[in-house]
Amino acid sequence: MVEKELTRAEEQIMHVLWGLEKGFVKDVLDRLPEPKPAYNTVSTIIRILEQKGFVGHTAYGKSHQYHPLITKEQYRTFATEKLMEGYFGNSVGSLFSFFMKKKKVELNEADDILKMIEQMKKE
């Protein structure tokens, strides 16, 4: 279970690891956008993620191959619940209203949401 929030840099590294499923620091570094951070920076962030319980490793001599210990879905659930609780009073309506006011919901997405609501009513 996820109990800690990721920093922006940690989250960026986790997205790469989720995509790779496993990899060495160099593999992660290769997939980061320009300007790329230093190798030691990426290595340090991965070790912090390991201390936080997000990442594990397999040792090959002095090299370590890293892999996520939590899934992207597990972290998404944690982050969404934290967002909902902290900013929207656990109200999906407040969240939807916010996105509507910011014009972040396309008409076809709104139609899809209405279809989901209709499906929920049937169930």
What is the structure's pLDDT at 52?
Answer: 95
What is the structure's pLDDT at 55?
Answer: 97
Least trusted range by pLDDT, from 32-36, 41-45, 71-75, 106-110: 106-110
Per residue in 55-70, pLDDT (tens digit) is 999 999 999 999 999 9
Which contacts qualify for 2-6: CB closer than 8 Å, 24 or more apart? 2/70, 2/74, 2/75, 2/77, 2/78, 3/78, 4/52, 4/53, 4/54, 5/78, 5/79, 5/82, 6/49, 6/54, 6/75
CATH numbers and ranges of domains, the chain: 1-88 (1.10.10.10), 91-123 (no CATH)
